[in-house]
């Protein structure tokens, strides 16, 4: 029986390296679940051969090789260029907010973000919706409730309510 306890990151890395090395010695039961390296090392699914082909390593997003769990890998970590920094194709729903998206929570219809990556609330309408901390009916920054419907730093809802007890919405300008 194994007893789990907290270990240092260095020990965890050593344990992972040992596990990968031992796994490389095993005879794979299913060729679909393993990747052969140049020197005969066999890496389990979810890992890849190191550059020298002697060990197995976890895949690295941004190395230019599409690995297990990656949709793409264009060799950089730039967002919005077709392959985003999490190695998913640039698209609504991949948890990376890119050009044309107002939000992207990673799952569609999540927390005020609709399936087209558009905000489902309107800041400046006097209604505190999902994704808003406040809504004072305008899009002015520095008045307690900023243009993104987030509290101005140092402001509280109580202080905001006493400073502006009524709300008269003005049409938001976008």
Q: Is residue 3 part of a domain?
A: no
Query: Is residue 125 located within the same domain as residue 144?
Result: yes
Q: Encode the chain in three state secondary structure.
A: CCCCCCCCHHHHHHHHHHHHHHHHHCCCCCHHHEEECCCCCEEECCCEECCCCCCEECCCCCCCCCCCCCCCCCCCCCCCCCECCCCCECCCCCCCCCCCCCCCCCCCCECCECCCCCECCCCCCCCCCCCCCCCCCCCCCCCCECCCCCECCCCCHHHHHHHCCCCCCCCCCC
- Is pLDDT larger for residue 110 or for residue 130? 130
**23: its two tokens:** 């796994």
Q: Is residue 115 part of a domain?
A: no
In angstroms, rounded to a whole number, what is the distance separating the alpha carbons of residues 78 and 63? 12
Q: Is residue 143 part of a domain?
A: yes
| pLDDT digit string, tens, across residues 122-153 | 788 887 877 788 888 888 898 888 988 899 99
pLDDT of residue 3: 43
Query: Is residue 41 located within the same domain as residue 16?
Result: yes
Is the Cβ–Cβ distance between 56 and 24 less than 8 Å? yes
- Is pLDDT larger for residue 161 or for residue 146? 146
pLDDT of residue 110: 53
Model pTM?
Answer: 0.48
Q: Is residue 151 part of a domain?
A: yes
> Domain range for residue 53?
11-57
pLDDT of residue 29: 55
Query: Is residue 104 located within the same domain as residue 67?
Result: yes
Query: Is residue 52 located within the same domain as residue 69?
Result: no
| pLDDT digit string, tens, across residues 43-84 | 888 888 888 888 888 888 999 989 888 999 999 999 999 999
Query: pLDDT class for 87, splitting at 50, 70, 90?
Result: very high
pLDDT of residue 58: 87
* Residues in CB range of 169: below 8 A, 6 or more apart: 124, 125, 126, 137, 138
| pLDDT digit string, tens, across residues 29-50 | 576 778 888 888 888 888 888 8
In angstroms, rounded to a whole number, what is the distance separating the alpha carbons of residues 12 and 33? 24
| Interval 142-165 mean pLDDT | 81
Query: Is residue 42 located within the same domain as residue 76?
Result: no
Domain count, the chain: 3
**Portion of the chain with pLDDT greater than 90, in percent:** 17
pLDDT of residue 167: 72
């Amino acid at each position: 029986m194994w007893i789990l306890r907290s270990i240092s990151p260095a020990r965890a890395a050593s344990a992972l390296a040992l596990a990968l090395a031992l796994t490389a010695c095993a005879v794979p039961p299913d060729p679909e679940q393993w990747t052969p390296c140049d020197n005969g090392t066999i890496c389990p699914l979810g890992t890849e051969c190191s550059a020298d082909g002697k060990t197995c390593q976890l895949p690295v997003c941004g190395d230019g090789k599409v690995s297990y769990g990656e949709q793409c890998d264009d060799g950089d970590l730039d967002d919005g260029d077709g392959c985003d920094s999490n190695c998913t194709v640039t698209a609504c729903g991949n948890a990376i907010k890119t050009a044309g998206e107002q939000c992207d929570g990673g799952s569609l219809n999540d927390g005020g973000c609709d399936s087209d990556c558009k905000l489902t609330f309107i800041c400046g309408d006097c209604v505190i919706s999902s994704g808003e901390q406040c809504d004072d009916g305008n899009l002015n920054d520095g008045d307690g409730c900023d243009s993104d419907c987030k509290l101005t730093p140092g402001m509280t809802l109580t202080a905001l309510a006493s400073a502006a007890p009524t709300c008269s919405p003005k049409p938001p300008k976008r």
